[in-house]
Structure 1
Amino acid sequence: MLEIRGLDVHYGGVHALRGLSLTVAAGEVVALLGNNGAGKTTTLSAVSGLLRPSGGSILFEGADITREPPHRITARGLVHVPEGRRVFSALTVHENLQLGGYLVRDQAEIRRRIERVYDLLPRLAERRRQRGGTLSGGEQQMLAIGRALVTGPRLLLLDEPSMGLAPLVVASVMELVAGINAEGTSVLLVEQNAVAALRVAHRGYVIENGACVLDGPAAGLREDARVVEAYLGGV
């Protein structure tokens, strides 16, 4: 579904990604792990067209999207939920969800997708008239993901969805990720919380200094001594 081949990204004189390669197959949740500054967010931004790679290629469902603009990439069904939630604080929950359908011409289809989000996330349905900026951190994260679902993703790029959330809320977010995947949406998940990520992922990659240093099935990574020591708290 997604294939990244030898990707290089520069920020001025900083070589942020160094020949990074990874794949996401249809129906998979793939976790992308690494320390701060490893290149995880840069990877998602390059895939979604927010950054222009300096080398390598990105293929989505067989098409080369390396230099496509973000709106065309999104229209293909590759939808990015960036770090920090970024809900429209002055708009209601419902208005935020409506904006997720900005590329969808069929208004009935937008309404159907919003109702699906409400079915999936009843808390948002309860707060549909509440302004986004008044929601809790966990509710804002659910709203950001819900808005992406209205766009109609085939592959969802999630950047640090658990950041700053309490453990119980993190569990709810990861349960949502698993539920979205169970309904047929593939997920590329960037997470500092490696324990949570590897519980829902099928496979994972570990990147350091912009390059992949380890990959494999999630169960294997959970037991790998290097991953345990560096990312799972030594347990």
Structure 2
Amino acid sequence: MTTTLEVSDADVVYGRVHALRRLSFTVGEGEIVCLLGNNGAGKSTTMNMLSGLVRPRSGSVTWQGMDLATAKPWDIVTAGLIHVPEGRRIFSTMTVHENLLLGGYTVRDQKAIASRLDEVYAMMPRLAERRAQQGGTLSGGEQQMVAIGRALVGGPKLLLLDEPSMGLAPLVVKQVMEIIAAVNAAGTTVLLVEQNARAALKIAHRAYVVETGSATLEGPAADLAKDPRVIEAYLGG
């Protein structure tokens, strides 16, 4: 398995807050890797660091040979690392179709954009039904689908998903996780940040537990799902 993303001993500090402390993890090509942890563990900071929105004070962050610690956010997107942020952040007054089109703003090949739009609508038929509907009128689950679809139109090689299940009903969480698994099966590597450990571990290949900015446990997702420490802390056991 080829390592596509490598984070080694990364530290991020906001003022007096030490958000990441020597965080290390890898993501292999074709994997779904999950970062588990409670609020304040440093998961969203990690995603923002990978997207170039915050810079590590020390350590290294590389993706396919690209130094993410110094790269501009727009260059990171153009290279194929695309971030679906926590809270979805779709444009409420724009239609579903318009929101999806925005995902291709760095893509010059119009045929590629059209093809990816067709793939998104085929994968998520509900969006096809609502393509002319304003984003703000959609349910939370539908908005999450739009956010994922928008990223897919950009042609991600590595898709960063930050809390995609947040605020969603259990049945909708299941649907969103099935979509993520389908995206991965179609060839996209996924890094998934989730508080819903049960749902995430069902679709992930490997997982890391992040606590106070450091990875404290790691392993195959199936193994972590049986680990008594994970069961007690994250699976309600």
TM-score range, shorter chain: over 0.9
Verify: 1:18 aligned to 2:18, yes or no. no
Cross-structure match for 1:43: 46
Question: Which residue matches 1:177?
Answer: 180
Q: Which residue of 2 aligns with 1:101?
A: 104
1:187: which partner in 2?
190
The Cα of 1:63 is off from its aligned counterpart by 2.1
TM-superposed CA distance for 1:109, in Å, is: 1.4
How many angstroms apart in 2 are the aligned matches of 1:47 and 1:159?
12
Amino acid at match of 1:140: Q
Q: Deviations over 1:18-70 (max 9, x none)?
A: 00000000010001001110000000110011111111111111222211111
Q: Distance in 2 between matches of 1:36 and 1:97?
A: 29
Q: Which runs of 4+ in 1 moved over 4 A?
A: none
Give the superposed CA RMSD: 0.6
Query: Which amino acid in structure 1 is aligned with residue 99 of structure 2?
Result: N
Aligned-partner residue type, residue 218 of structure 1: A
Summarize deviations over 1:129-162 as a string: whole Å, max 9, x none.
0000100000000000000000110110000000
User: What is the DSSP-based 3-state SS (H/G/I as helix, E as strand, rest coil) of the residue aligned with 1:188?
Assistant: strand
The secondary structure found in structure 1 opposite 2:115 is helix
Mapped to 2, the partners of 1:22 and 1:224 lie a distance apart of 19
Which residue does 2:63 correspond to in 1?
Answer: 60
What residue in structure 2 maps to residue 209 of structure 1?
212
Gaps of 5+ in 2: none
Secondary structure, aligned partner of 1:223: coil
Alpha-carbon distance between aligned partners in 2 of 1:50 and 1:58, rounded to the nearest angstrom: 13
Q: Quote how far apart the aligned CAs of 1:187 are.
A: 0.5
Deviation at 1:110, TM superposition (A): 1.0
Gaps of 5+ in 1: none
The superposition leaves residues 84-131 of structure 1 with CA deviations (integer Å, 9 ceiling, x where unpaired) of: 000000100000011000000111211111111001111000000000
Distance 1:61 1:149 in 2: 19
Count of equivalent residues: 234
Tell me which residue corresponds to 2:230.
227
